[in-house]
A = this chain, B = another copy of it.
Amino acid sequence: MSAPPLPEVPRERRSYPKGVARRQEILDRAIEVFAKRGAQRTSLRAIAQEVGVTHGALTHYFGSLEELLVAVYHESELRLDGDAPAGSEVTPAEMMRVSAEENREIPGMIQLYSTLVATALEDGHSAAQEFATQRFARLREELARRVRHLQSVGRIRTDVDPGLVAALTIAASDGLQSQWLLDETVDHEGALAMLDRLFANPSN
């Protein structure tokens, strides 16, 4: 007696979990490759080779090198976010300092980030542009909310605009990271700690 036929499942639904798993596998491997190699501009074919998939599969799952770069950075950021200091009493500069400390373990990711931002500033790179614009907007929003809270509890001086503090802190951290990558004597942490002291409520 033969087994009863399996219920009919549409082809797309049936192959979906496998497609997701395969995409994740490629992404995991790409993250490893980028963490090791930085983000030297290179061909999609060369990366595909290093990741160990065909050019066709990479194009199929990510569309373009730019979109793979965005996915790699996004995924790495999600993984790091788990370690970010979450307490609402943590200042914006301290948040950026901790995140920079984590990034320093994987210089390839700092290079990848700076390549994505530079690519976003060029015309006609919509994936990188959308990524960078949204990331900056989200981060400014998050830090500004934090500043307003810390002003209300008397930790941050009230004569500074929360939105400007947020934009400035992100900018300072990004810029210091670039300077540090080119010259390790640049004191990223020290400069952010100084910024923290300047923003602190002087009557404390």
Write the nearest CB–CB distance from A179 to chain B, whole angstroms.
5
Which parts of A157-182 form the interface with B (CB within 8 Å)? 160-161, 163-165, 167-168, 170-176, 178-179, 181-182
Band of interface residues on A? 35 or more
Instruction: Check if A114 is an interface residue, CB within 8 A of chain B.
Output: yes
Contact of A115 among B118, B123, B132 (CB under 8 A): B118
Instruction: Check if A48 is an interface residue, CB within 8 A of chain B.
Output: no
Write the nearest CB–CB distance from A122 to chain B, whole angstroms.
5
Question: How far does the alpha carbon of A163 sit from the alpha carbon of B192 in the complex, in Å?
Answer: 13
Nearest to A40 among chain B residues (CB) is B122
The main secondary structure of chain A at its interface with chain B is helix
Nearest to A195 among chain B residues (CB) is B168
- Given A171-B175, A175-B171, A175-B173, A41-B121 contact (CB < 8 Å): no
Question: How far does the alpha carbon of A18 sit from the alpha carbon of B197 in the complex, in Å?
Answer: 57
Report B-chain residues with C-beta under 8 Å of the C-beta of A140. Answer: 179, 186
Which parts of A123-141 form the interface with B (CB within 8 Å)? 123-124, 129, 132-133, 136-137, 140
Most B CB contacts (10 A, CB to CB) among A160, A175, A202 go to A175
Residue pair B171, A133 in contact (C-beta under 8 Å): no
Report B-chain residues with C-beta under 8 Å of the C-beta of A178. Answer: 117, 121, 132, 171, 174
Question: How far does the alpha carbon of A118 sit from the alpha carbon of B181 in the complex, in Å?
Answer: 11
Report B-chain residues with C-beta under 8 Å of the C-beta of A110. Answer: 121
Write the nearest CB–CB distance from A144 to chain B, whole angstroms.
12
Residue pair B182, A164 in contact (C-beta under 8 Å): no
Contact of A40 among B124, B129, B163 (CB under 8 A): B124
Instruction: Check if A183 is an interface residue, CB within 8 A of chain B.
Output: yes
Residue pair B198, A186 in contact (C-beta under 8 Å): no
